[in-house]
Amino acid sequence: MSHDEPMSLADKLYRTRYEPDPAHPHIQVDPEQLRAAATRKLLKICPAEVYTPDPNNPSNVQVSHENCLECGTCRHAAADEGVQWKFPDGGKGVKYRYG
């Protein structure tokens, strides 16, 4: 990849490491509240594409915690769509790496 080409999302996400905490997920979505949302902006606002339509049932949303950059965009912009977001417990979550 030359320096003039923009990095893909996959390339950018490669530069992060995520230590999951399966017993205590830091993101939860209320499926009923999201289904009732008129715009479903949750599917559009996340820079890391954490939220995607479920391929088996597009009215549901899949949450990929391992992609979360902990920017908090979803908790502010889509709180009315049933997002419950908190920082992961100490030592867990995103770990940035460079180079």
Which residues contact residue 75 at a Cβ distance below 8 angstroms, ignoring those fewer than 6 apart?
83, 84, 85
pLDDT(75) > 80 = yes
**pLDDT tens string 30-63:** 888 888 887 888 888 998 888 998 899 888 888 8
Query: Which 8-state DSSP code applies to residue 5?
Result: S
β-pairing, 51-54 vs 27-29, is unpaired
- Closest alpha carbon to 32 in 85, 82, 84: 82
Is the model's pLDDT at 85 over the cut of 50?
Answer: yes
Instruction: Give me 53's structure tokens.
Output: 């339509």
Bridge partners of 3, per DSSP, are none
Residue 28's nearest CA partner among 78, 85, 76 is 85
The pLDDT tens digits of the residues spanning 6-26 come to 878 777 777 777 777 777 778
**Domains plus CATH for the chain?**
27-96 (3.30.70.20)
